[in-house]
Each structure stands twice: as structure tokens, then as C-alpha cells.
Amino acid sequence: MIAMVLDVVIGGLLMGGIYALIAVGLSLQYGVARVLNISHGEFIMLGAFVTWSLYTLFGITPLASIVVCGAVVFVIGFVLHRTLYSRIRALSESLAIFEGNSLLASFGLLFIIQNMAILMWGGEIRGYSYLAFPVDFWGATFAANRLVTLLFAVLIGTAFYMFLARTRLGKAIRAAAQDLVAAGLMGVNIDHVLALCFGFGAAMAGMAGSLISMSYMISPVMGMEYTVIAIIVVVLGGLGSIPGSFIGGLLLGLVGSLVSYVQPGLSLAAYYVLFMLLLLVRPTGIMRR
């Protein structure tokens, strides 16, 4: 009995840690930069495949790849915002039009990144074994790599939260999230801050991808599933709320773990039902008043 409960709860938290990291990334991109980035999952896929390539070709440990992926994907995200999204922002008459057009642009990016990855790495499902020894918790067993994953997700999340709460740049980002125009008037370089946010969001996706590749199978079309989960979590936690996203991610992991324990195969459908109910009942999320 205890083993079963632990299995569901710890399993949920392990999955939830990844969800939380992904959702914090999307929350930065949508909550601050106002881009609902449907290609978020593609950056996760990029991180996963770079890590896989570095490990299988050069034997570089995935834990080191996390840093590499984070940096590379950050630059990609920053440049994308500076070239693509800031131009769309300048072309759009209102925020609603910008949100619509940037959503469509990220659909375009999704197709571009995904198909480039298929052309580069092939369409097969891949995986490798790293830190795969079992760890026992009073009868519930988990692979060590999944525990490492949760540890890193919490570390990255906490570090970023400290950055937002304690540094000047973090303050500028929070100001931009509250009110773009007012923040601009107070001397925040809006274009720069938004591009940074988009880059940070992408970097989180890239790092999450590295972590995912350690314990799950990866394929070039894996991104969409994670994007959908990230969107659900961001809505669950309240748009633009970083702690909300983190808690929402852990919660969704628990829900998914519970549902797949009771009725395997329905966990994705359960996410959607939860998500649709939330949109209808409380579109501002659990953390926003």
C-alpha cells in the first residue's frame, strides 16, 4: 500500500519537475514577451538531440551537455526574438494582433525546426543509458537518472527565481511583465529585455531536453506533447506567474501519475479535460487573483 502511494506520488513529482521547468520557460515567453511559443517543445527536442549526439559520438556526459544546450538554445532564442518577433511586434497594430501573429509564426518555426531535425538526425526513436541503476524508496523503485532530473529541475528553477528576485535585470523583467509601456518609460530597454526573456525561456526548454534525454526515449516529433503540457501548466499556474508555473508543473505531474495509475492511456485526455475546465472556470490560473 505504502509502496503504491509512494510510487504514484514520487513518480508524479519526478515527471512534475520536468513539467515545471518547461512551463517556467514558456511562462517567460508568454507571460513577459507575449509570444505563445508553440515551438517551445522543438527547443526541448533540440536539447535532447544535442545531448544524445554529444554522448553517443564523443562520450560527453549529459550533465555537462545541460550547460552547452542551455547556452546554445539561449542564443538561438535571443536572435529569433531580435529578428522575427520584434519585427512582428512592430508590424502589429495591437497586442491582440501581435499575439495572433506571433502564435502563427511559432507554428512556422515548429515546422522548420522539426523537419530540419528529421533531415539531420532521421526520424527514428532514440535513447541511451546513463545512470540507469535503481534506487529504492521503501518499496517503490526509480531509476537514478530520473532523480537526477528532478534535482536539476529544482536547482535550475530556484536559481532562476533568485535571479528574478535579487538582480537588477530580474527586476527589469518583472517590471516588463507587469506593464510593458510603464517599464519602458522607467528606462527599461524593452526590446532587449523581451529578447532576453525569450532566450531564457528557450534555454530552459533546451536544458529540460537534456534532462529528458537521460531517462526517456527521444524522437524529432516529441516536442508537441511537451508544448501542450507546458501550455496547460502555464494556464494552470496563471500567465506570467513563475512560482505558479513551477507549482502547476508539479501538480500536473501528480495528476498525470494518478490518472495513468487508475486508467493508463487516458492521462493525456485527463490533461486536456483539466485544462479546458480551468480555461472555463478560472482562466487566470491558481496563483492570480
Q: Which of 88, 140, 144, 148 binds another protein (CB under 8 A)?
A: 88
114 binds another protein (CB under 8 A): yes
How far from the centroid of its chain's Cα atoms is residue 243's Cα?
14
Q: 7 to 36, contacts with another protein by CB under 8 A? A: 36
125 binds another protein (CB under 8 A): no
Select from 109, 230, 254, 259 the one that contacts another protein (CB under 8 A): 109
**Residue type for 239, please?**
L
Burial 27-42 (b: 16+ CB within 10 A, else e): bbbbbbbbbbbbbbbb
Q: Which of the stretches 67-75, 80-88, 183-191, 206-214 binds another protein when contact is defined by CB under 8 A?
A: 80-88
Binding residues for another protein, total number by CB under 8 A? 39
- Taking the least distance from each CB to another protein, the nearer of 66 and 252 is 252
91 near another protein (CB under 8 A): yes
Q: Do 200 and 74 touch, CB atoms closer than 8 A?
A: yes
- Determine the Cα–Cα distance for residues 213 and 228; give it in Å rounded to an integer: 18
Considering only CA atoms, which of 76, 13, 8, 16 is closest in space to residue 230? 16
**Site string (214-243) toward another protein, x via CB under 8 A:** ----------x---x--x---x--------
Q: Which is nearer to another protein, 102 or 145 (CB)?
A: 102
Closest CA to 170 of 183, 155, 152: 183
Q: What is the DSSP string of 56-121?
A: HHH---HHHHHHHHHHHHHHHHHHHIIIIIHHHHHH-SSHHHHHHHHHHHHHHHHHHHHHHHHHHH
Angle between helices 190-215 and 2-27 (to 10 degrees): 150
Among 9, 68, 72, 118, binds another protein (CB under 8 A): 118
Cell numbers representing residue 41 in the block? 517543445
- C-beta of 84: minimal distance to another protein in Å? 7
Least Å distance, CB 228 to another protein, is 7
Nearer to another protein, 76 or 211 (CB): 76
Question: How many whole angstroms separate alpha carbon 82 and alpha carbon 98?
Answer: 15
272 is a site residue for another protein (CB under 8 A): yes
- Report the interface residues with another protein, using CB under 8 A: 36, 84, 87-88, 91, 96-97, 99-101, 103-105, 107-112, 114-116, 118-119, 224, 228, 231, 235, 265-266, 268-269, 272-273, 275-276, 279-280, 283
